[in-house]
């Protein structure tokens, strides 16, 4: 038992911290984005299907419509958060060596943010007039 020089009690210091050091935050955000994704995925599929066979000007007109663009942005945001959390669970389940695990989880975060940033950039560029 470590001596406690802090004002905080041992229980107070660990309360809410699971082995992942973030309690149920990960689990909950995974569920919240999952619920959002059900709605946004259906909308995304409708948008993509509507774009099939459209020539460039018509496709751009649809993608840059404010409602379509906002829904696309929400889909990108929710999907990227969800997939980052999901892949992190997979990494933590299969990569056991600590150094590799930390690198993989970090690379996972970089990947999700890079994909999200590129997609958001593209949608905003289209929306604000190419």
**Binding-residue pattern over the window 27 to 66 for other proteins, x denoting contact by CB under 8 A:** ----x--xx-xx--x---x---x--xx--x--xx--x---
**Interface with other proteins, residue 113, by CB under 8 A:** no
> Helical H runs in the chain?
10-14, 25-51, 56-63, 66-94, 98-127
Asked if residues 17 and 23 have their Cβ atoms less than 8 Å apart, the reply is yes
Q: Least CB distance from residue 115 to other proteins, whole Å?
A: 5
**Interface with other proteins, residue 118, by CB under 8 A:** yes
Q: How far apart, in whole angstroms, are the C-alpha atoms of residue 93 and residue 65?
A: 42
Report CA 74 to chain centroid distance, whole Å: 10
Q: How far apart, in whole angstroms, are the C-alpha atoms of residue 97 and residue 62?
A: 47
Using the contact rule CB under 8 A, the part of the chain among 6-14, 18-26, 78-86, 95-103 near other proteins is: 78-86
Q: Please, which residue, 20 or 113, has the CB nearer to other proteins?
A: 113
Residues numbered 15-34 forming contacts with other proteins, rule: CB under 8 A = 31, 34
**Interface with other proteins, residue 91, by CB under 8 A:** no
């Amino acid at each position: 038992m470590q001596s406690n020089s802090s004002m905080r009690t041992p229980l107070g210091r660990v309360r809410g911290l699971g082995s992942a050091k973030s309690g149920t935050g990960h689990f909950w955000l995974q569920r919240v984005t999952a619920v959002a994704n059900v709605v946004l995925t259906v909308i995304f599929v409708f948008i993509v299907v509507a774009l099939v066979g459209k020539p460039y000007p018509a496709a751009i007109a649809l993608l840059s419509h404010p409602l379509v663009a906002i829904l696309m942005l929400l889909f990108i945001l929710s999907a990227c958060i969800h997939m980052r959390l999901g892949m992190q669970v997979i990494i933590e389940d299969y990569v056991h060596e600590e150094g590799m695990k930390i690198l993989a989880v970090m690379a996972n975060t970089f990947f999700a943010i890079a994909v999200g940033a590129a997609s958001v950039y593209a949608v905003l560029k289209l929306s604000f007039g190419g």
